[in-house]
Structure 1
Amino acid sequence: MFASQYKRALVTALVASAVSFSQLVNAAQPVTVEPVSQGQLTSQLAVNGTLHGKRDMIITAGVSGRLHYVAEPGLEVAQGDVLVRMDTLPLELEKARQLEMLKRARVNLRFQKQELARLTELAKTSSAAASQVDKVQNAHDLVLSDIALAQVELRVIEDQLNRATVTAPFSGIISKRYHRAGRDVSRADELLNLVDIHQLEARLYVPVKYLSYVRTGQSLPVSAGNLDAPQTTTAQVSAVIPATDPRSQTFEVRAMLDQPGESENQQHWAVGQLVDVSVPLAASNRALLVNRDALILRKQGIHVVKIDASNTATQIPVTVGQGQGQRVAITPKPSHQLIAGDRVAVRGAERLTDGQEVEVQN
């Protein structure tokens, strides 16, 4: 009797346990979901660049002669300020000589005109030979040519006098002086290095395999200095030069630094300074992107769990591509569909099976 009651109680407990287990298995599992997005993955290529003045130039002597004044290195100049002044005394003397030559030619011209007019009248009455008229006419024309040549020579001297004073073509600073005042130089000799400190340009060299990622007008982050207090700004790509260096297999990119505001220090950056430049590399194709936490790794492969409108789970096998931060690109395997906007589980999906109901908690 006692044994029979014990068996009935044991059977009842086993049945209750089975029912409870079945209810537990079939209960909706709580999950956290995020939508699938579509976009381009971007990464950053860190390269080094060097700052240059946009209009940096070497000032040469305007004319041959002796230097009378040469600006000092470190002098900040404005556009139009005098940088070089040559000794103009030899040119002024040459100008005076040409003026006298022109004066003499004009006096001679006046005489030749009178002589030509007199002989022309005499030739009408056969009182003067035609050869005499031709001779005076020739002398008259030569004097006119001498006057024209003297006028051209005066223009040349005026141009040399203007070139004897070299002014700054733009505002900047003198970084180097090659010759001091008192030295005789020729016209092609280098005298000063004028640096543009107001329009700085970063020049960097990027591996040629990234040529398709860089375009004119692109914004590049620029930084320099120590890690505790870095100097940062942005630069706009002004030129992409698709000429590859055979050794380094790189091409040159030039980017103009943003102009500092009135409250910023104009000397924050220096010409010749090394800077760190981040070149954004955006993938050309748009891909499906999911949170890395949505990936379920198994021996048979990788899948994500799609949660449909009725909160039912479906396993979608995927191929994983490149990633950036918490986002990763995926491609559904053939015969499986996943589009942008679909929900995938990012929490609580490890034990979900196809067709299982879930409870979305977000």
Structure 2
Amino acid sequence: MKQLKQIICAGLVLSSALSVQSGFAQGPTPAVETAQVTLSQNDNLARLPGTVISLRDALLSAEISGRLEWLAEVGEHVEKGQTIARIDDHLLKLQLRNDQAQIKRIQADMDYQRRQQQRLSKLLQNNSVAKNELDQVESRIGILQQDLAIAKINAERAQYQLERSQVIAPFSGVIARREMNLGELTQVGSPLLRLVDTQRLEISVNAPLRVARFNQPGTMVAVHRDNQEISTEIRGAVPVGDERSRMMELRLELDDKEWLIGEAVTVELAQAASQQQLSVPRDALVLREQAVYVFRVDADGKAQRVEVKPGAGQGNQISVTGELQSGDTVIVRGAENLKDGQTLKILTASAG
């Protein structure tokens, strides 16, 4: 009888132990958050530095020699056609007056020779003078006509140079730099100041020649500045590379007047043809030394481990290759300690 009681007690203890062990093995159902596998365009992009530049940036020079009398101030905004520099024009005015006096002298001589021609023509009809005298007067008139033409050209040249004593702004902009100071003697071609149009801007970026076929004029690209991103169009491309750098220049349109000339930006340019690839939120990846995988939620609501190979990332998404399909549900929160085949409790679907 005593032996029977011991056997019953042992059975009860064993049953209790198995029940506890079974409870530990099953454990609580883990709560997870999920997101959808999406099909997106995967662009192989190169992030290259660019610079904001002006469409009109000119180093204006003197067209005549002389002493610099006045020059616009650095930082001053000037309009097209406004005087921005003035050179001493005293000698030019004297030269113009001299040329004009020369014209009047020649014209007076021509008037006299024409009256003389008329008188000799009448006398020749009466055989009162020799014909060679009339020929000499007519020859003199021809020479004076050429002298008058030369004098008028000289006067026009003097007038032209006089007008060039004032340097005129070829477009509206801001004086960015002075190259000379007041009182200095200018020579023809001497740089005076730099004029920059701050309203008409674009972006210059040097890119490898291999990206030329993927970035033609009219292509839209992304440009980043600090925390700002804009989408703009490639205005022009110069597919002529330096033999050392193998780089070409691209020009991008920029309509925003708030960007500053010389400002550094980052331009995203395609390096290969765009492809469609599956992408998941970055948080869905479980990273281990031997493998990278995600947990997919199967039709029975259980975790299914799927090994993947991560690719390029963009923002919170990352492209992957593996046995996944667009629309599959993957776990983005609570996947670290999951086991393959484990039953899940789905809390919410993440927007990630």
TM-score, with structure 2 as normaliser: 0.69
Cα distance, 1:32–1:171 mapped onto 2, change above 3 Å: closer
Inter-partner Cα distance in structure 1 for 2:319 and 2:207? 26
Q: CA deviation at 1:277?
A: 2.8
CA distance in 2, matches of 1:340, 1:130: 111
Structure 2: stretches of 5+ with no match in the other structure = none
Partners in 2 of 1:281 and 1:3 — Cα distance?
86
Change in Cα spacing, 1:6 to 1:47, as seen in structure 2 (3 Å) is farther
Matched letter for residue 339 of structure 1: Q
Note the C-alpha offset of 1:178. 2.1
The residue type paired with residue 280 of structure 2 is V
CA contact (8 A) 2:293 2:307 kept: yes
Partner of 1:90: 91
- Tell me the equivalent position of 1:172: 174
Kept after mapping to 1: 8 A contact 2:278/2:326: yes
Specify the SS of the correspondent of 2:93.
Answer: helix
Q: How does 1:1-362 map to 2 (within 5 A)?
A: 1=1, 3-4=3-4, 7=7, 10=11, 14=15, 17=18, 21=22, 30-39=31-40, 40=42, 45=47, 47=49, 55-67=56-68, 69-71=69-71, 74=74, 76-79=76-79, 80-117=81-118, 135-169=136-170, 170-173=172-175, 175-181=177-183, 183-194=184-195, 218=221, 220-223=223-226, 244=241, 258-260=256-258, 276-280=264-268, 284-296=274-286, 301-308=291-298, 311=301, 313-324=303-314, 326-332=316-322, 336=323, 338-349=324-335, 350-353=338-341, 358-362=344-348
CA distance in 1, matches of 2:286, 2:54: 54
The range that moved more, 311-320 or 15-24, is 15-24
Contact preservation (8 Å) 1:33, 1:346: yes
Letter in 1 for 2:340: L
Tell me the number of residue pairs that the alignment of Structure 1 and Structure 2 aligns: 336
Structure 2 CA distance for partners of 1:323 and 1:194, relative to 1, 3 Å: closer
State the distance in 2 between where 1:346 and 1:2 align.
59
C-alpha contact (below 8 Å) 1:42/1:324 kept by paired residues: no
Counterpart Cα distance in 2 of 1:239 and 1:300:
48
Q: Find the aligned partners of 1:149 and 1:246 in 2 and give their Cα distance.
A: 53
Q: After alignment, is 207-216 or 321-330 more displaced?
A: 207-216
Query: Are the structure 2 counterparts of residues 297 and 331 from structure 1 closer, same or farther at C-alpha, using a change threshold of 3 Å?
Result: same
Q: Structure 2: how far apart are the matches of 1:298 and 1:279? A: 34
Residues in 1 aligned to 2:124 and 2:249: alpha-carbon distance in whole angstroms: 79
1:301–1:115 distance in 2 versus 1, CA, 3 Å: same
RMSD: 4.8
Q: Between the two proteins, what is the percent identity of the paired residues? A: 26
Partners of 2:275 and 2:200 lie apart in 1 by 36
Instruction: Give the deviation of 1:61 after TM superposition.
Output: 2.0
Q: Are residues 160 and 281 of structure 1, via their aligned partners in 2, closer, same or farther at CA, if it must alter by over 3 Å?
A: closer
Distance 1:314 1:157, change over 3 A: same
Render the CA deviation track for 1:303-356: whole Å, top value 9, x for unaligned.
Answer: 333335554554444222133454321112xxx4x3322212234553123xx7
Aligned CA distance change for structure 1 residues 199 and 298 (closer, same or farther; 3 Å):
closer
Letter in 1 for 2:182: R
CA contact (8 A) 1:60 1:188 kept: yes
SS in 1 for 2:108: helix
Cα separation, partners in 2 of 1:128 and 1:308, compared to 1, 3 Å: farther
CA contact (8 A) 1:320 1:328 kept: yes
- After superposition, the C-alpha distances for 1:99-120 in whole angstroms (9 at most, x for unaligned) are 2222222233334444545566
Q: Residues 196 and 129 of structure 1: is their aligned pair in 2 closer, same or farther, counting only changes over 3 Å?
A: same
Distance 1:297 1:42 in 2: 23
SS in 2 for 1:361: strand
Question: Unmatched 5+ residue regions in structure 1?
Answer: 224-230, 261-267
Query: 1:264 corresponds to which residue?
Result: none
CA distance in 2, matches of 1:138, 1:5: 160
* Contact persistence 2:208–2:246 (CA under 8 A): yes
